[in-house]
Amino acid sequence: MNAPIAPGGLAAPITTYSSREFTRDVAAAKRAAANGPVFITDRGEPAYALLTIEEYHRLKAGSKPRSLLEVMQSLPDTSDIEFEPPRLDDVVLRVPDFETD
């Protein structure tokens, strides 16, 4: 197990276990989760996070689904982008004939 680390801006320390360490000592990982998130790595890369149910509910409560309008309003302003689609003068559009003889 790696020593707890506290990345900038996070209040709770993050403890990291490899998959093998986690499998060998699940109880220790559960105890560490009481103090902050526990990252479980797979081949050296974070793959899972273990946290208390209270912390999960706190995070879940803060993430309400956004409406389509909210998503569109959060997009960057594109009014300064010039776009002139090509004209399709040589394309002939007609209603398809679905009649069969």
Q: Which residue has the tokens 């998130």?
A: 37
Give residue 3's pLDDT.
47
| pLDDT (average), residues 1-24 | 72
Give residue 99's pLDDT.
86
Asked if residue 6 has pLDDT above 50, the reply is no
| pLDDT (average), residues 64-75 | 82
Q: 68: how many CB neighbours lie within 10 A of its CB? A: 7
Q: 15-73 falls under which CATH superfamily?
A: YefM-like domain (3.40.1620.10)
Domain boundaries, the chain: 15-73
The string of pLDDT tens digits covering residues 14-68 is: 899 999 999 999 999 999 999 999 999 999 999 999 999 999 888 887 777 778 8
Q: 45: how many CB neighbours lie within 10 A of its CB? A: 7
54: tokens are 């209270």
pTM (2 decimals)? Answer: 0.52
- Rounded Cα distance, 33 and 31, in Å: 5
